[in-house]
Amino acid sequence: MIQVIDVYKSFGQLQVLKGVNFQVAPREVVCVIGPSGSGKSTLLRCINQLEATNSGQVYIDGEELTHPKTDINQIRQQVGMVFQLFNLFPHKTTLENITMAPIKIKGINKADAEKLAMELLGKVGLTDKAHVYPGKLSGGQKQRVAIARALAMQPKVMLFDEPTSALDPEMVGEVLAVMKNLAFEGMTMVVVTHEMGFAREVGDRVVFMDEGIIVEEGLPQDIFDNPQNPRTQAFLSKVL
């Protein structure tokens, strides 16, 4: 589904990704963990080309995103992304947040878009908040709307960048529950997270990044209970 081949990325002098290789199979849930600044967000942003790569290739469903002729906007429609700080559109209601892209980009008519949006709101448990502006929602509610917004484009892959780390603790659970559901329904997902419980329970595979490379990857129980690399061990000892 996703293939990341030997990707390099630097910001000015700072080398952030130093040759990352990485595959995700259809319906697979991959959790990416690692210390702050290790390049997790950058990797995710390279996958949907929000950040242009310096070298290397990224394929999604066989199409090369890094090819100059690729219509990147077309492909991004198939890749949903959920951000740490939600990034809901504050000037639009919940419903409008969800229907905007389908209407404006896909040209779906408003009624159909709203029908789909209400279904998705049902899925994330927020049907009653359809006509509320984001400013009135709690953090957990915002993130659930953000997930619904991404799903409204009916993506093949979902990318999550620390979707719960800006949330108050009592709201983490509600967002993780939505994500777990999504995984069980068979969505292909890449999740950067610090929620080790979620990674262990829901992840098919865990990837540990440090200093711009993938240091270790494997089944959750292998990584958590029996990390091989000393850097992985050091990180997990601080976090668990």
Q: To the nearest whole angstrom, how small is the minimum distance from the Cβ of residue 35 to Mg ion?
A: 10
Establish if 36 lies at the interface with ligand ATP (CB under 6 A): yes
Q: Which does 79 bind (CB under 5 to 8 A by kind): a second copy, other proteins, Mg ion, none?
A: other proteins
Establish if 48 lies at the interface with ligand ATP (CB under 6 A): no
Establish if 238 lies at the interface with a second copy (CB under 8 A): yes
Contact code string over 13-52 relative to Mg ion, x by CB under 5 A: ----------------------------x-----------
- The token pair at 125 is 């448990």
DSSP characters over 13-68: TEEEEEEEEEEE-TT-EEEEE--TTSSHHHHHHHHTTSS--SEEEEEETTEETTST
Establish if 31 lies at the interface with ligand ATP (CB under 6 A): no
Angle of CA points 82, 85, 88, to nearest 5°: 70
Q: To the nearest whole angstrom, how small is the minimum distance from the Cβ of residue 175 to other proteins?
A: 17
Establish if 147 lies at the interface with other proteins (CB under 8 A): no
Residues 122 and 130 sit within 8 Å (Cβ to Cβ): no
13, 36, 62, 107: which one binds a second copy (CB under 8 A): 36
Establish if 153 lies at the interface with other proteins (CB under 8 A): yes
Nearby residues of 128 by Cβ (< 8 Å), 6 or more positions away: none
Cα distances (Å, whole numbers) of residue 171 to 70, 77, 104, 187, 239: 39, 28, 32, 23, 20
Q: Which is nearer to Mg ion, 108 or 213 (CB)?
A: 213
Residues 49 and 4 sit within 8 Å (Cβ to Cβ): no
Contact code string over 160-199 relative to a second copy, x by CB under 8 A: --------xxxx-x--------------------x-----
Establish if 27 lies at the interface with other proteins (CB under 8 A): no
Residues binding other proteins: number (CB under 8 A)? 26
CA atoms within 13 A on the CB side of 40: 27
**Calpha distance 199→160 (Å, rounded):** 12
- Is the four-CA dihedral 220, 224, 228, 229 of positive or negative sign? positive
Q: Which does 171 bind (CB under 5 to 8 A by kind): ligand ATP, a second copy, Mg ion, none?
A: a second copy
Contact code string over 140-169 relative to ligand ATP, x by CB under 6 A: ----------------------------x-
